[in-house]
Amino acid sequence: MTFLSKEDRTERVIEFQDRCLVAGMKELAPYVYELKGPFSKTLTIATLVHGNEIGGIEVLLQILEEIRSQKLSLKSNLRLILGNVDAYFEDKRYLESDMNRAFGSEDRKSKEELRAHELETYLQDTDVLIDIHQTIGATKTPFFIFEYDEESYHLARYLHPTLPVVTNTKKRDFQGKTSTGYTISKGGMAVTLETGQKIIEDTQISLALEISRIAIETDFGDSLPVSPLSHIYTFSQIIHNPDRSLEMVKQFVNFDPIKKDEVLARNSLREVRSEVDGVILFAKYGDYAKTTSELALILGPVHDKKDLKS
């Protein structure tokens, strides 16, 4: 485990910029770099969309070193993006609003909304997006998460055959879209990779590196293999908390099993029970629970495409 001072973070961002230039990349916008070749497709790898999810920049630094040393052979135009660098410097998820709820939104008031709007230019013509994230709470396994799209599912399975895939069939209470949702809406394939809890940890970095290497060395002009549905979950229940009065009854870890009718949350007036047998994801606690109307997700396994219908 490694935790970073503000000075460490500043040094890493400067190192990222320097390594991009050494690798021959062109700066398109602040913390957005591109290496173009004779390719018809563009792969974007993004991180720090949430500023305190610190592991992803370590992955990009290693990718840049492998490009410089010619250990990686590009098969697509490559873009690298650091999303919310100002929040990264302050070790905060965001400064004014959640950037990963702002893509495609008409709201352009907060720092994050303005940054999301700036990045839309580089996502809307991206053919493949991998957005590297980390979870706030502990998780039993890394996983992919994205708005369901058949081609993006095949991408996830191509990048890793067994990591759980989480996808949604219920509307979440966002004004805008996630980075992946926005990219998919513009015709691209996109997955978010949640590597684990938000620290710098070798196994998380190794996983994200391996997935990134596979993507960089893939010619996305060719069709991806078609994969059967496996290890895939969808939203069976969203525990809404509009007045922020509900609290989880205990500390859950992502992918903890949940039984139907199990009490999950309560306040002085009511309790919320699970509607299905499944697993829990993104349970929120303390001050963070009061920043969002979504207290937790309950996931059910997907057995057939009909399970993915709203």
| Cβ-Cβ contacts under 8 Å for 10 (sequence gap 6 or more) | 89
pLDDT at 225: 95
Amino acid at 161: P
**Reported confidence tier of residue 155, pLDDT bands at 50, 70, 90:** very high
CB 128 within 8 A of CB 112: no
Per-residue confidence band for 307, with pLDDT thresholds at 50, 70 and 90: confident
Q: How many CB atoms lie within 10 A of CB 27?
A: 12
- Of residues 125, 102, 132, 100, the one with CA closest to residue 36: 125
- What are the C-alpha distances in Å from 171 to residues 115, 148, 186, 211, 235? 24, 12, 19, 29, 9
Cα separations in angstroms, 308 against 86, 193, 278: 37, 20, 15
Which string of DSSP letters, residue by residue, matches 148-160?
Answer: --HHHHHHHHHH-
Average pLDDT estimate for 7-31: 97
Q: How far is CA 47 from CA 94, 262, 264, in A?
A: 13, 36, 32
The DSSP code for 130 is E
- The two tokens of residue 140 are 């039993």
Span 141-157, average pLDDT: 96
CA-nearest of 270, 266, 262 to 247 is 266
What SS3 state is found at 107?
coil
Q: Do the beta carbons of residue 139 and residue 194 sit within 8 Å?
A: yes
Q: Let me know: does 35 contact 23? Beta carbons within 8 Å.
A: yes
Pair 192, 211: CB distance under 8 Å: no
Closest Cα to residue 196, out of 53, 58, 299?
53
Indicate the angle between helix axes 6-22 and 55-68, nearest 10 degrees: 30
Strands 263-266 and 77-82: unpaired
Q: 309 versus 30: which is more confidently predicted? A: 30
Diameter over CA atoms, the chain: 63
Flag whether pLDDT at 1 surpasses 50: no
Q: Are strands 42-47 and 294-301 parallel, antiparallel or unpaired?
A: unpaired
Of the chain, the end-to-end C-alpha distance in Å amounts to 40
State yes or no: pLDDT of 251 exceeds 80.
yes
User: Region 97-111: what's the mean pLDDT?
Assistant: 94
What is the DSSP-derived secondary structure letter of residue 62?
H
pLDDT score, position 175: 72
pLDDT above 70 coverage of the chain, percent: 97
pLDDT in tens, 185-225: 999 999 999 999 999 999 999 999 999 999 999 999 999 99
- When the pLDDT of each residue in the chain is averaged and rounded to a whole number, the result is 94
What's the angle, vertex CA 229, arms to CA 222 and CA 153, rounded to 5?
Answer: 45
